[in-house]
Amino acid sequence: MANLAQASDVEAALVRNLTAAELVFVERLLGQASAVVRRWCHQQIDRVVGDVVTVEGDGTDFLLLPELPIVSVASVVINGVTVAASSYDVIDGGLRVAGTYLPSERRFDWGPGGWWPFLPIVVTYTHGFDVGVYADVVGVVADLVAGRVRTGTSNPGGVVSESIGSYAVGFGHTPPAMEMRLTVDQKRTLGPFRRTLASVPVRRAFDLPIIS
């Protein structure tokens, strides 16, 4: 996965250029900070084109996809058969069966009333935000890294030596690992990008009308 911020964003947060020694470890720190943000948001956040996921159908008319926002859906395949795009709508973070179905009106043989079957469903889709949309996320990642640089604890992985081209840096001892933590304000900033159980309305099987 690509980092959610770049070294230049860290320099903007610090309001100065990074030193050669700092640059050696900033990429590592950016990866760590990006992972912290993604774990808290339960989302990858940046744009991914043509991602292929397998989701288990649960007998409802709604198939929840793991990443938001959904930009487009290229295909939905069940048991090797491609489902017609007219058979579902992209809505609320997933795929909802289109229209009101009775067994005699199904466009795809996927269960009574047109519900997604209890089967693995392969979805190819594009998801995530444009870079300009998640600028606040970039800011949080850059701030996490800048904070580590300011305190001089820019070697979270305990690296004793590392080099880039002709430049090399070494340590006489292995610095202790330190965990990055989000502040309350940073969590508030990331709130719009976080997916929770309440983020997407999902009707379970026992909520569905009985079709006789």
Residue 83: name the closest of 116, 112, 113 by CA. Answer: 116
pTM: 0.73
Whole-number pLDDT of residue 86:
87
- With a cut of 80, say whether residue 205 has pLDDT above it: no
Are 2 and 46 contacting, i.e. CB atoms less than 8 angstroms apart?
A: yes
Give the mean pLDDT of the chain.
80
Residue 124 CA to chain centroid, in angstroms? Answer: 15
25's enclosing H/E stretch is helix 20-41
Q: 150 is written with which tokens?
A: 């300011």
Give residue 183's region: left, alpha or beta (phi > 0; psi -120 to 50): beta
d(CA 183, CA 174): 27
Question: Around Cβ 62, how many Cβ atoms within 10 Å?
Answer: 22
pLDDT surpasses 80 at 55: yes
Whether the per-residue pLDDT at 106 is higher than 60: the answer is no
